[in-house]
Structures are given as structure tokens and as C-alpha cells.
Amino acid sequence: MTPVDLRSDTVTRPTQAMREAMLRAEVGDDVYGEDPTVNALQERLAADLGFEAGLFVPSGTQSNLLALMSHCERGDEYIVGADAHTYRFEGGGAAVLGSIQPQPIPQDADGSLPLDKVEAVIKPIDPHFARTRLLTLENTWMGRTIEFGYLARARELATRRGLGLHLDGARLFNAAVAYGRPVREVVAGFDSVSICLSKGLGAPVGSVLVGSASLIERARRWRKVTGGGWRQAGMLAAAATYALDHHVERLAEDHARAARLAEGLGRIDGLAVKGCHTNMVFVDVPAERLKDLAAHMSKAGVLLSIGYLPQVRMVTHIDVDDEGVERTIAAFASFSY
């Protein structure tokens, strides 16, 4: 029995057609800027999103790090959600490697940062303070889309206060599908955007950072410095390009399966469904039952990620089908809470 792997949408494996596209890829040395498949991916995503340039990098963590290091210098500061990936889940990279101070603030329920609080933490220009340079948002955050109108208000604040605006758009395409808007509209106000190809889009590796030509030039330098200069990366870029061509619209299926999962789980006594947003479902299970639940589920062929968050998070993706969703609901139903 193939397990249903709901731990994350990073677990997807390349489809046969994607592997064939990888085999056919023309390659060159990307550190010399000579990999045609990488160059085409970068140009295409930048153009699709309305930016001057793009940079293909190994991971979303590196993409965000390069963005922070390209917007900010040593002694600068970025304002970030206290539960945002760029603050909590990236090993403190901006501080460790960039000498950039994070200024975290609590997020609203949709993941946005209350703009009055953002404004209140912007530091005066004075030697006592770090120089506040950048506001970073995340969309989707924990599967949630930020209220669409907020994005323009954040842009207005950033412009008025002279801040850059970066988006951690690891799951940007899930957001666009959920809004029912072209992805370009979702990123219209941002100065830079990081997109993961290796999550719901199903590529094996890779993220792209887009921004102005000068920002991407700085990011390219930091990519090399942090050891991310890669060579014949075109085979990976081919997978990413395949994903953009074939796996964007189907994200709606992942969202529908998450909704079906939440609905089925909602009928089970003792299990509280706490949320269902885009491709993620969150449930509350009594803490003392979590270990037994994980063992029970794994016996039933369902893999869950337990321990990173107070709730159990399940993520649908291209390798989860209807049967997998029904098997998951049945397995949850046969557990005593």
C-alpha cells in the first residue's frame, strides 16, 4: 500500500512527464549565466509576475535570505510576522549571515501584519536604532490568503515610509488560485517575491526570486557567497518550467481535496477541525493522544507531521488522490480520542 503522505506538499515526486522534460533539458554552466533552461525559467517567471529579473535558487529559505540580504545591509532591520517562515523557520539566517535584525510582530488571523503596529515599530533615524528597511509578508500563510485589499494598503505604507516590500510567496500560486485572480495581480505591489517550485507545484527542487534587475544582481552575488551558485542546473529548471506549464491550474484540485478532508474529519466525534485553507487542514487532537494517533495512522498507511505546531497539519498535493483522502478520513474515524 502506498502511504498517503500528508506531512507537507514538499514530499511530491516528479511525474514521468516531468522526468522526461528534465532529460531533454539543454544545460550550461549557470554560474557563467550560460544555462539556457535556467535563463528561460528566470525570464519567464519574472515576465509572468511583472518583474525585471529572476534568480533560480536551491531552496525557498535561500531565496528569502538572498532577498533580505539584497534589500538590507548590516545593521538594517526587517519587519516580519512573529509566526512567519522568514522569522521562525529559517534558522535566523538573516541575523546569522546578513547581520540584519528582525523586528517580529504578532500577525492577524489571515497572516497579515496589522499596519498600525508595523508603523509603530519603524525606528527613527538615530544611531541608537537599527535602520528599518523592509516589510516582509507571507501569502499564503499556514494555507491562509491575506485579505486582498490589505496588499495595496501595505504597499501604500511601505511607499510612504520608504520601506521595501518583500513577499514570501512559497505558495503564491495556491493564493492566486484561491483568490481567483491572475498571479500578477497578487504580487503587483511588491518589490521582490520568492516562489517555491518544490511545494504544491511538484518540482523536485528549487525556488525563484524575482525583483528589479539591480536587486537580482545583488541576490546573485549573495547566492554565490552562500554556496548556492550551481552549474548545470537546467535539468532542475526544466522540472520547474514543466510545473509552471502543467501544475498550476490543478492546485484547485488540492484545495477541493483539502475541503473534502475537512468535511469528513468534521463528522468525527472527538476531533476538532480548526481550519481548512487552500491545501491545508488543521485539527486539534488531545496532546496526550498524539503519539498513539501517529502510530495508528501510520499503520493505516497515512503519514502525518506531528510536533511542529500545536495542531496536526495535513497538506494535500499532487500525490494525494481521492482514495487517499477517503483512507485518511476512515483512519481518523477508527481511532479513539
**Under rule CB under 6 A, which residues in 44-73 are in contact with ligand PLP?**
59-61, 64
Question: Is position 198 an interface residue for ligand PLP (rule: CB under 6 A)?
Answer: yes
Cα–Cα dist 127/129, whole Å? 5
Alpha-carbon distance of 216 to 96, in angstroms, equals: 21
Give the 3-state secondary structure of residue 80.
strand
Measured from the Cβ of residue 63, the count of other Cβ atoms closer than 10 Å reads: 29
Measured from the CB atom, the residue of 93 and 264 that comes closer to ligand PLP is: 93
Per-residue x/- track, 203-222, ligand PLP (CB under 6 A): ----x---------------
* Assigned C-alpha cell, 76: 538594517
Rounded to the nearest whole angstrom, what is the least distance from the CB of residue 61 to ligand PLP in the complex? Answer: 3
- 76 counts as binding ligand PLP under rule CB under 6 A: no
Residue 111, C-beta contacts closer than 8 angstroms, at least 6 positions apart: 81, 84, 137, 138, 139, 140, 141, 142, 144, 146
Q: Could you tell me the three cell numbers for 22?
A: 528534465
CB of 125 to ligand PLP, least distance (A): 30
Q: What is the DSSP letter of 97?
A: H
What are the φ/ψ torsions at residue 230 (nearest 5 degrees)? -115, 165
In whole angstroms, the minimum distance from the beta carbon of 305 to ligand PLP comes to: 12
Q: Which is nearer to ligand PLP, 254 or 327 (CB)?
A: 254
Tell me how far, at minimum, the Cβ of 330 lies from ligand PLP, in Å: 29
Q: Would you give the distance in Å from CA 253 to the centre of its chain?
A: 18
What is the number of other CB atoms lying within 10 angstroms of the CB of residue 219?
Answer: 29
Residue 311 within binding range of ligand PLP, rule CB under 6 A:
no
What is the pattern of x (binds ligand PLP, CB under 6 A) and - over residues 142-181?
--------------------------x-x-----------
Give the nearest distance from C-beta 259 to ligand PLP in angstroms. 20
Of positions 71, 85, 223, 327, contacts ligand PLP by CB under 6 A: 85
Q: How many contiguous H segments (helices) and E segments (strands) does the chain have?
A: 14, 12
The backbone torsions φ and ψ at residue 10, rounded to the nearest 5 degrees and listed phi first, read -85, -10
CA distance 59 to 196: 7
Give the count of beta carbons closer than 10 Å to the beta carbon of residue 104.
17
Tell me which residue has its CB nearest to ligand PLP: 60
CB of 64 to ligand PLP, least distance (A): 6
CB 137 to ligand PLP: min, Å: 10
Position 138 contacts ligand PLP (CB under 6 A): yes
> Does residue number 81 form part of the binding site for ligand PLP (CB under 6 A)?
no
Written as one string, the DSSP assignment of 185-236 is HHTTT-SEEEEESSSTT--SS-EEEEE-HHHHHHHHHHHHHTT---SSTHHH
Q: Which residue, 85 or 133, is less far from ligand PLP as judged by CB?
A: 85
Cell 492546485 sits on residue:
251
| Beta carbon nearer to ligand PLP, 80 or 122 | 80
In the bound state with ligand PLP, the residue whose beta carbon lies nearer, of 248 and 300, is 248
Smallest gap from residue 334 Cβ to ligand PLP (A): 31
Query: Residues in the site for ligand PLP, rule: CB under 6 A?
Result: 59-61, 64, 85, 138, 168, 170, 196, 198, 207
